[in-house]
Structure 1
Amino acid sequence: MANHPPAEISVDADLVRQLLREQHPSLADMPLRPVANGWDNYIFRLGANYAVRLPRRLSAAQLTANEQQWLPGLTADLPVATSAPVFPGKPSTAFPWPWNITRWFDGLEVSLQPRDRNVALAAQLAGFLNAFHQPAPSGFPFNAVRGIPLENRNDAVLDRLASGMVPHAARVRELWDASLKLPPWPGPALWLHGDLHPANLVGTADGALQAVIDFGDLTAGDPATDLAAAWLVFDQNGRSAFRAALGGQYDADPYVWGRAQGWAVCMASALLSNSDDHPGMYLLGSETLMEILTDVRDWL
């Protein structure tokens, strides 16, 4: 069943233009047009170089505030461009929640290209994670569904496997149960993107990684959450290249890839159970599940 949450507030170009005039007048006369209405945000393109992102509902407003507070400092020295706020927007009488102006990236959404091409992204995505996965201070944004022990997601995953929406549910359940038995991450809570799938990666025409976007699930915890990208983004060849490019950063934890596969099961099952009104995301869930089921598992 589709689970696209309804918007709690309506936003159109006239409202965005009003906010720009009030808070960022130097940008207010640029061309403006709506381009997306996602789960959490309205997105408008502003001129050639910017995007305006405004929360659709109160819960997403806190995610926007988290991005404003943390991302500029966290992403300043990363080797890959990101959608960190360039010009933050404040709540006002016209719009009650924080909002952001970010860079616009003209590249290709990675989820739209054949998966076997993504091997070209492996080294750059690994470089991004090696730089971003640093210990977080106390007070980092808590996320109830990312970075936490896998057992906290057990009820949700089992409900999805029982729904009839996830193919090969019995075998998937075996893999999920195996991941739950693994020891937890032994290190400090590391900063996490939290939603590192191909629709949040922007590639260039020649196959490079242009940007990592949408940090709405920003949190800290077990890096296995982000390492699920090995199955979400790559095929077997890309997965091997990705793991090799990460080097030894996670070698102290021999169970990290087993938990990462568990996170991939969690995310794939969510896509399959909640995206029947979004064919692209449903396909991503289906492809990811097949990667999990057919993995050679040379990391064991």
Structure 2
Amino acid sequence: MADTVLSINHLQKNFGKFAALKDITFDVHPGEVFGFIGPNGAGKSTTIRTLLGILRASGGSATIFGKDVWKDSVSIHERLAYVPGDVYLWPNLTGGEIIDLFLKLNHQTHTAHTDELIKQFEFDPTKKARTYSKGNRQKVALIAAFSTDADLYIFDEPTSGLDPLNEEIFQKNVVALKENGKSILLSSHILSEVERMCDRIGIIREGRIIETGTLTEMRHLTRTMITVQTRQLLPDLSITPGVHGFKTFENAKNKASFTVDSDKMDQLMQTLAKLEIVSLQSTPPTLEDLFLRYYQKDEEGEHDDQK
């Protein structure tokens, strides 16, 4: 897609001598869910606060709808919806009153869709906000956001405090937004959440984007777990290119487990086929495997080679 809804180029943000953002570059396209992942403290929220015009960048550029996020923040906010990871509410207003206030501030109105969302999230809008748990405070912001007809939705750890059932409801509503051509930037450290919904992923580490792409494109960097048993003598495969952690089973003849780089799978299978496979179990790589590959330092220093 040629057009971009959100574009960040070499964004930097310093707090005194501390560089919170060192080099952030990625785009979000129309109708796309972009997953922005990394552990707490990696710079996700700082990036989002800069996009919202709350913080001023120290270097680089960022635009939303082709407008500068700092200079044109007011006009940009008219076309976006935002949910932070920790929602603070007016304690003496009810949840329903706050939802309606959020909608009014965004020039929107309470509709039948709003009522449907309240029902989906099993939310009681009649109670005062001071009585709400963290999860219920999140529901207020999520219901207001999903009720808003925006062009870009920014979610920063939005399911924090929600139970698994409500996480599922959140995911279904994000998919519905995508089907309606909306763009979503989802910041999360819940890998299964990102893996299920996102078209593309950006991994942030210590204030830098270290990889972007689709999960399919990234899986060449991950490893598949293999457990295999053969009829013929199973040689030591640890010297085979792409094979790691080769271990044999003491109680089973010619049986072993190991991981293999996805781009070496074809070569490995040709080797195993010659040994007459009795059984083979493979566990496909997940986003978590990719994520840990970047964050876990090993003796080989592989993550340094892949930046």
TM-score (norm 1): 0.25
